[in-house]
Amino acid sequence: MNPLNQTHHNNDQPPVFPICQIGSGEIIMMPKPNTETLAADIAFYRNNGVTHLVSLLRQPEMEALQLLDEEPLSLQAGMQFLHFPIKDMDVPDFDSLQRFNRQLLPQIEQGAKVAIHCHGGRGRAGTVAVSLMLEAGIELSQALQTAREKRQDPLVPVCQLQNDFLKRYAQELAVEFR
């Protein structure tokens, strides 16, 4: 059995929360890798099929959390590393996120397993994961419910600003596809 088919939160393995299958790929939410076990965490992700690691941390956070080796270790493990920095407790630029999602979504549909993290793996990661689900045609209420259930946390995303952003994202998509 593929370990990423279940949620992990024991001390031996980093916590990962598979959220949604899209096409033959998958969206996964998770907290940041552990600094002390960074290489082992990245190896765990890769050994369990993660093909793309998305960090939403800003450069000062990466430095403070000692995660500057995340990108080279990910690339060395054979994963794509994508850096889309978003300020903590904030939302991304709408157009930038939509471009990012529209580049990533076809890869997910074709089988990419994309693990998205911020610090705790709920706010910024939840915002990006749900926005990807919206791009895939999933209704906002269903996308939020799925993310909250699979992440095992009713606060996905964590603040009203992020929830309002997702409402706007869904509304913009509805207008676009009329």
pLDDT, tens digit, 9 for 90 and up, residues 44-71: 999 999 999 999 999 999 999 999 999 9
Under 8 Å between Cβ of 165 and 91: yes
Output the pTM of the full model: 0.94
pLDDT score for 177: 76
Which domains, and CATH codes, for the chain? 14-173 (3.90.190.10)
**175 CB-near residues (< 8 Å, 6+ apart):** none
pLDDT for position 176: 83
Contact 147, 29 (CB under 8 A): yes
Residues of the chain with pLDDT under 70: 1-11, 178
**What pLDDT does residue 14 have?**
94
Instruction: Specify the pLDDT at position 1.
Output: 35
pLDDT of residue 43: 97
Give residue for tokens 């593929």. Answer: 2
**Number of other CB atoms surrounding residue 1 within 10 Å:** 5
Retrieve residue 172's tokens: 């913009």
What confidence score (pLDDT) does residue 4 get?
58
Mean pLDDT of the chain: 94
Question: Helical H runs in the chain?
Answer: 38-47, 59-64, 70-76, 94-109, 124-135, 140-151, 160-176
> Sheet holding 17-22: strands in order across?
17-22, 25-30, 113-117, 52-55, 80-83
Chain centre to alpha carbon of residue 1: 23
